[in-house]
Each structure stands twice: as C-alpha cells, then as structure tokens.
Structure 1
Amino acid sequence: MSSIRDTSQVDEARPPVRERVNPDSSSSPSSTASPATGATPVVAANSSAPLVLELEAGPMAHGGHCVARHEGRVVFLRHAIPGELVRAVVTEAGESARYWRADTVEVLHGSEFRRTHQWKLADSLRAHAAGRLPVGGADYGHIVLPHQRRLKAQVFRDTVARIAGQQLEVHVTGAPGDDPSGLHWRTRNAFAVTPTGRLAMHAHRSAVLIPVRNMPLGVPALDALKLWELDFSGVARVDVVTPASSDSALVLLTPAKDADVSQLGGRMHRQTSRLPEGTSVALIVPPKDPTERPEIRRLRGRTWTQETVSSKHGQEHTYRITGDGFWQVHRWAPSMLVDAVLQAAQPQPGEVIADLYAGAGLFSAFLADAVGPEGQVLSVEAAPGASRDARRNLHGVTQAAVLNGTVDRILSRWVAKPELPVSDCGLGGRAVDTLVLDPPRVGAGKATVERINRLEPKKIVYVSCDPASFARDFGLLAQSGWSAESVDVYDLYPDTHHMESVAVLVRS
C-alpha cells in the first residue's frame, strides 16, 4: 500500500490509484477535468439522433462492462447483466476502432438478478431518460449483491486464465456487517467542483460534471457533514476522510489553478465554520517544483486522521494517516485484510518478513507482533509522508524497520548486498522467509518480479486490488516455478466492479 491521494470518487468508485510509485496521470485532479475519448452519445449516420443498438449482453469482463457484439464488432456494454437483451446508446465508435462502447438505456429482456439502481444519479436508465449522463462508478448498482459477487468471481477466474494461463477456483467473500444493499461502506471520497462552487462528480470517461447532494456509497458520517450546502468556489477538488473508528473527519481542499491561495484559505476557513465540531479542514497547496510533495496547510483542526484496527486474533493497533495518505476505503477492509494476510503468511516467531508497498504500516504492525523480538519485519515504502507515518505507528517496535525507498531499489540492495545492516537498507545477513506485497493497481511489474525471484523467499503473499495486474505478475512468477497455494477474493467495493484478492504463492 502507498501513501497518495485516493482519486477514485471524482469520476468512479474505484480503489485508490497509488501514484507515487506508478504515476497514473489520467487520475490526477487536473486530468480528470480533461475530456476523455467518449461518454457523449455518438450520432447515427445521416441523422441527428444518437446511435442506438439492440444488443445481447455477453459475459462480464474486467472493467465493469459486458462483452456484446454488433455485426461482428465487439461492443463494451455498461449497465447490463449477462444474458440480457437491451437497447444501448453508443458512446464511443469509429469505423477503424477495435471496439465500441455503449450504455444501456432500455431493458428489453431483463435478468432475474436486476434491481432498480439505488443511486438515481448513477442509474443509466433514468439518466438517459432524463437526457443526461449517469455519474461514473457504482457500475454494478443495478445488480443484486449476491450476483455481483458471482460475477466478480467469474471475472477474476477469466482474467487470470486469459493473462496468466492459470486456472484458479475462487469465490468472493463480502465484509461482515455490510449493508445488504451494498451501500454505506466508503470512508474516503473525492469530489470535483462545479464553476458555481458545488460538489460534483464526472460521468464515466467524460469531462461532464454532475452536481451531487449525496453519495450513497459513503458512510453515514459523510452525509452528516452536509458539504453539499457549502460554496467551494476557487477549489478544484474536495477530498473527504470519514474514519471508520473516529468521529473526526478531515476535509482536504485542492485550489483551482488560478486561485489566490492566501485569499482562498481565509474564505474556506470561514465557509467551513459550519461543519460539525471536531471536523478538520486543510488546504493542499501545490509545490512550485512539480517533483516535490504538495504542502498540507491547516485551516482548522489537524492535518491527519486516526484509525484503529483489530484482528480476530486479539491484537489491536492505532494508526496515524497524514493528510491525503493512502488507507483502505472500505470501513472493514483494514481488519479483513490484516486477518487475511496473517492467515496467508502464517508468521512464526523469529522469522524475517518483508512488507513491500507498506504505506503507513498496516500489515507491518501485526506481522511484527507475530514474529516477536527475535524476528524482523522490513516495512518498505517509497512515499516519504507514508514512511514518516509508519515510523510513528511502529514506534518502539524494535523488530520493525521502516525503509524509505522504491521497492525496486530496496530489493536490488537486498539481492546484491544482503550482508549490509538493516539501517543501510540491507538484510543484516539474514534471509527473507515470507514476502508480502500490496502493489499499486498497475502491479509490481517485470523488474520487481525478477528481483523477488532472485531474493528467493519461501513464500509470497500477494495482495491485489486489480485482477489484471495480479494476473500479469502471477504469470511471470509462474514461469519461474511459483504456483498458487490459495487465492481468496474479497468484495470490498460493493456496487462497483472492483475487488481485492490475497494469494499465497509457493515454489512448485
């Protein structure tokens, strides 16, 4: 895990993009406002009317769409369910395009698993009937929750088989205590701002802004802030942290490009005085040097939040997450993933465990409990802010060492000079027993996988928020003799197509 802002809710309810290691410019605040390739209905030839097709929805694919065909051409069809017959408006097309994209606007023969979408703004049927585009994200909201999970299991299996050439049997587990509707789970949310200063979200793959007055995927504490009533003129983006284990929310404001930051700070201090007592507000000031990290300027309260995580094995740890630092967005995800990683790693006293992309130290703290004072946990994180948080969160834990640097650089050092002391980013002459990694959505990549192979851990625990990148890395590892001992998939993003997985990989 890494420490960078969750850009997901501006245009799509997806897992956080961990930009500081693998930049994804398409998710940055500036680029989300740029027009994407489509989303606006395509006009039919020799007509001013949108191009509408009758399509049969094929299997669900990674990305939240069904695969349909029109005259032999693949059409990625959103807001449908496999087996349905629908009318769909084409949103991206072209005679030379490899595929088209389309949104369902009418269901001719519906699935038994279809329900009325619980979020009106994200409902494609109601949106197009009203002459507007639906809000991006919540792309499974028209499907009953148990079938969402069956589809995710199918997507995971198909993706791994297609990319890695590996056949895996998996089922998808939801979080205990989840609302049966799939709502009210998200503790981290981000919004764009309209020219009139109101909170908004983007339509899928579009620059179109849609004003919002609620966010049904968010935990109830989000609506309680009533941010929809405030004027955010001069702000480009509003990030909201509503911690699962605390009532102290944090609102982060990113200025518009042409905003006077000093004047904006004063106005936002006055504007946010109406927020509930205990709410913190901070301004994220872009640096003059683009290679430096933005300044987090406190307007009221504090610039960090706190989360407490409990394991079913009895341990509990409290974490500080500064400003826009990464944290799992589902309210129960940290505890669920900690238990899953502990079950997968089976850490023993005295072992050496490497925790790569460790963020604020979520897994590191619990792994350090398990290996005890004779063991060693090496918590590797590239983002300086996250490393500072990890040092605070692991303060006094002598068997845990926080190493600030890119995973590739640290792994290279371990492979080349394992005898160096841990303080010099070495292994102190010891061997890594288990390697835990939770990389960005783009995965670890070929170079990192090669270094992991050279390190020769006894076991790999791979935590992933994207089946495609997991499949790419798993395929590379399989070529070097690694196989999956177990893979568990978790539905930590209800009403969206996203999922989390924890795999145990061992040498065949």
Structure 2
Amino acid sequence: MTRRAPGRRPTRARTAKGASRVGERFEGVVGPVAHGGYCVVRLGEPEARVVFTRHCLPGERVVLEITEGTDGDRFWRADAVEILEASPDRVEAPCPVAGPGGCGGCDFQHVTASAQRELKAAVVREQLQRLAKLDVPVVVEDVSGGDPALAAGLRWRTRQRYVDLGEGRRGMRLHRSHDVVEIADCLIAGPPSDHTVDGIAFDVAADGFWQVHPNAASTLVSCVLDMLDPQPGERSLDLYAGVGLFARFLRERVGPDTRVVAVEADREACVRARRNVPRAEVVNGAVHAVLASALDEPFDLVVLDPPREGAKRAVVEQIVDRRPRAVAYVACDPAALARDLALFAEHGYRLERLRAFDLFPMTHHVECVALVVQGE
C-alpha cells in the first residue's frame, strides 16, 4: 500500500521543458554505474538520451519506465521494470518492498554483496578521476567482522527513521518522493548502538549524530590513527568534531599536555564533547567561521569529517593556511571528497592514501578516508 504522508507538502513542481515522458517504456542495454544508485542507459542514436536508471546492473538488457523527464531535459530518470537479460551479479532482493514503486531506502538489494562493493569502488574511482584528475585504485572494504547478518548487508542500521502511519503502522518513503510505502520490518534496521569504541563509552544525545553501522566508529578511528600516525607533542585539530570521537583518540596519542582542539557547530554536541574528551579545547561554531576568526596558528594534524556537501573552499584554504603535515579526510560523499581534494591540490597538498569502507550495505553510500599531505 502506498499513501501520502500526513503533514508533508509535495515537492514544488519544476517548470516543464516540453512534453512529459513519465510512464513511457523503452528497451535498452545498461551501461556503467553512476553516482547516486543509478546506472546509465543511453536511448537513441546518434545523440543518445542519457537515462539514469535504478534497479539494474551494468550489461543487463532491461525494459525501463521513465519516472522523471520531458523532451527538453538533458537527462531522464527511470526504473528498470523488467529484466530481459540478467547480470550474474543479480540476486532476488530479500526485502519484499525493494524495487520499482517500493521503498527508496535501498539502492542495491538486487545485487550480491561483493558486487555492491565493486559498484561503489567504480563510482569513487570515477568521481576522483573526473573531479580531481586522480587515477587511484579503489577497493571498498567489507566491515561486517564476520557477522552473518552484517555480511549479508542486513541488520546494520542502528538508528532508523520511519513515517508514522497511525494505529501502530509505519512506513518508508519512495525514492525522490513524499509518498510512503507501508512496511512491517526494515531488513537493514538493527539494534541500537551502545556508543562504545575500543572500550571507551561516549556520551551521545538520543538524537545526536553517531555512525549508524555498528562497526563504523571503531573502523574509522583505527583508519584515521593509522594514516595520521600521531606523535607525542603534535598539535591537532578535529573539525566537524561531533561529540569528540576522533579528538578523544588524538588526545591519547599526542599526550595530555599537547593542544587538541575540537570544532563543532552543534551546541549540544559540544557539551558532550567536553565530557568525552578531557582536557581538550572544544569550540562551538561553524567551522569556516571559527577558522576565519580564531585558532590562527600552526597545527600538525587535522581530522576533517564534514557533512555530505564537503568542506568547500573556505574551510580548505583555512586548513592549508595552518600548514599541517597531514590531514585525514573522512568523507561520506565521493563527489564532495574529489572536489575538495582538487582544492587541496591547488595549495600544494596531495592525496597520499585512500581507503573506502562499506558502511552502508544495500545502499549506494560509501565512506572514504583520504590522507592528504604536503608535497608534490
């Protein structure tokens, strides 16, 4: 059953650029994976129309149905509604509401776990090449830790939001829609996180930010520390610090008398960061504004963990102005990471190492950690 969520206005309609093609069906061969959970299908010759298509895999022959697009648009969006020739990486989706017209929360329920990681690696490579002119080998690492459910891409999401449909019923939104599909059980939802990393318990608000995969926080901390290799006495900045996850472990490495500064815009998170990171300096404010007006001194190490849109020029330029020997950039969007790496390159910083982790199985999302250092 699909219905409109109460109290939510529909997205403002775009001005049409010609006759609508929504609902029309075409047959096509699927091309490469694209960012956002799509694959590229090209329709027509000689000027092929690009159609970003969900629920398919590269190499498949499919029937696709247009979900967004007019004659005047540069590209259309579509769902693959019939698979004529299937990829060997295709599987039956475990969730009964995955697929065209169903829940929009997962992109890759129809793909084997290993192939999902290969698709994500291809996206990261393409974004780095196109936006940062970097040809980098990428392997997306499994972080299931041997847990059978996690290895299958299930029961990993420790925090999940639902639409309340009343009378004890709940639902999830369709892809790029305010409509809701009712669900009995979200198969990627798992038990709540205990916010403990390497034996250290962190104080986190009930609605505060914390990584949703149960192995994410420990995986990212281990990677960041390995890349930065903090030494005693090295001054450190933790930017977009949240409740101080990285700052806490930096403090242990550089020593209690060395300056560690955590910068975070959310006031409540700062309160908790002060509890989580004894003797660290916690600054409440937007990162670009804080760096523009304070902390104007050299720092040896920087952890940069921005929101999905990335750090952007104002923050990158303030970081390089402090001449750190190394920056560990934790990125949840490969396009934003690539754009920011290009900005670092303008100032003489280069990508030294890159790792990628499958912290969001069944979806197109992937987490990367990049080590950025001075030099050619």
* TM-score normalised over the length of structure 2: 0.91
Cα separation, 1, equivalents of 2:130 and 2:90? 28
Q: Is the CA contact (8 Å cut-off) linking 1:88 and 1:102 kept in structure 2? A: yes
Query: What does residue 76 of structure 1 align with?
Result: 52
Which of 314, 317, 320 is the matching residue for 1:447?
Answer: 314
1:330 and 2:207 correspond:
no
Q: Is the CA contact (8 Å cut-off) linking 1:81 and 1:111 kept in structure 2? A: yes
Shift of 1:309: 0.9
Query: What does residue 177 of structure 1 align with?
Result: 146
Query: What does residue 171 of structure 2 align with?
Result: 200
- The one-letter code sitting in structure 1 at the alignment partner of 2:291 is L
Q: Deviations over 1:303-346 (max 9, x none)?
A: xxxx1111xxxxx3111111311000101101101101111111
Matches within 5 A, 1:459-474: 459-474=326-341
The size of the alignment, in residue pairs, is: 360
Cα separation, 2, equivalents of 1:68 and 1:195? 40
1:67 and 2:40 correspond:
yes
What secondary structure is seen at the aligned counterpart in 2 of 1:194?
strand
Q: Is the CA contact (8 Å cut-off) linking 2:173 and 2:181 kept in structure 1? A: yes
Which of 69, 72, 75 is the matching residue for 1:99?
Answer: 75
What secondary structure is seen at the aligned counterpart in 1 of 2:175?
coil
1:113 and 2:102 correspond:
no
- The one-letter code sitting in structure 2 at the alignment partner of 1:309 is V
Which of 343, 348, 363 is the matching residue for 2:246?
Answer: 363
1:389 and 2:362 correspond:
no
1:57 and 2:30 correspond:
yes
Shift of 1:414: 3.9
Query: What does residue 411 of structure 1 align with?
Result: 291
- The one-letter code sitting in structure 1 at the alignment partner of 2:146 is G
Cα separation, 1, equivalents of 2:164 and 2:196? 31
Distance 1:355 1:338, change over 3 A: same
Shift of 1:483: 0.9
Query: What does residue 501 of structure 1 align with?
Result: 368
Shift of 1:165: 1.4
Shift of 1:177: 3.0
Q: Is the CA contact (8 Å cut-off) linking 1:435 and 1:461 kept in structure 2? A: yes
Q: Unpaired segments of 5 or more residues in structure 2?
A: 1-5
- The one-letter code sitting in structure 2 at the alignment partner of 1:161 is Q
What secondary structure is seen at the aligned counterpart in 2 of 1:166?
coil
Query: What does residue 487 of structure 1 align with?
Result: 354
Cα separation, 1, equivalents of 2:7 and 2:226? 41
Which of 429, 432, 445 is the matching residue for 2:299?
Answer: 432
Q: Unpaired segments of 5 or more residues in structure 1?
A: 1-28, 125-132, 222-241, 246-306, 311-315, 419-430
Cα separation, 2, equivalents of 1:75 and 1:211? 28
1:151 and 2:119 correspond:
yes
What secondary structure is seen at the aligned counterpart in 1 of 2:118?
helix
Which of 182, 186, 197 is the matching residue for 1:215?
Answer: 186
Q: Deviations over 1:285-306 (max 9, x none)?
A: xxxxxxxxxxxxxxxxxxxxxx
Q: Deviations over 1:55-108 (max 9, x none)?
A: 211100110000111121100010100010001111011011110011011100
Query: What does residue 3 of structure 2 align with?
Result: none
What secondary structure is seen at the aligned counterpart in 2 of 1:60?
strand
Query: What does residue 275 of structure 1 align with?
Result: none
Distance 1:469 1:459, change over 3 A: same
Which of 228, 231, 234 is the matching residue for 1:351?
Answer: 234
Q: Is the CA contact (8 Å cut-off) linking 2:113 and 2:152 kept in structure 1? A: yes
Cα separation, 1, equivalents of 2:7 and 2:307? 20
What secondary structure is seen at the aligned counterpart in 2 of 1:101?
strand
Shift of 1:163: 1.0
- The one-letter code sitting in structure 2 at the alignment partner of 1:492 is L
Cα separation, 1, equivalents of 2:13 and 2:28? 22
Q: Is the CA contact (8 Å cut-off) linking 1:44 and 1:51 kept in structure 2? A: no
Shift of 1:51: 0.9
1:87 and 2:87 correspond:
no
What secondary structure is seen at the aligned counterpart in 2 of 1:209?
strand
Distance 1:134 1:106, change over 3 A: same
Shift of 1:44: 8.2
What secondary structure is seen at the aligned counterpart in 2 of 1:390?
helix
- The one-letter code sitting in structure 1 at the alignment partner of 2:119 is L
1:309 and 2:285 correspond:
no
Cα separation, 2, equivalents of 1:480 and 1:161? 19
Cα separation, 2, equivalents of 1:375 and 1:349? 8
Which of 458, 461, 478 is the matching residue for 2:345?
Answer: 478
Shift of 1:30: 7.2
1:401 and 2:281 correspond:
yes
Cα separation, 2, equivalents of 1:192 and 1:340? 35
Cα separation, 1, equivalents of 2:366 and 2:357? 6
Structure 1 stretch 190-199 or stretch 457-466: which is displaced more? Answer: 190-199
1:164 and 2:135 correspond:
no
What secondary structure is seen at the aligned counterpart in 1 of 2:152?
coil
Cα separation, 2, equivalents of 1:344 and 1:386? 26
Q: Deviations over 1:19-63 (max 9, x none)?
A: xxxxxxxxxx976x523769xxxx987xxx931111211100110
Matches within 5 A, 1:202-351: 202-219=173-190, 221=191, 242-243=192-193, 245=194, 307-310=195-198, 316-351=199-234
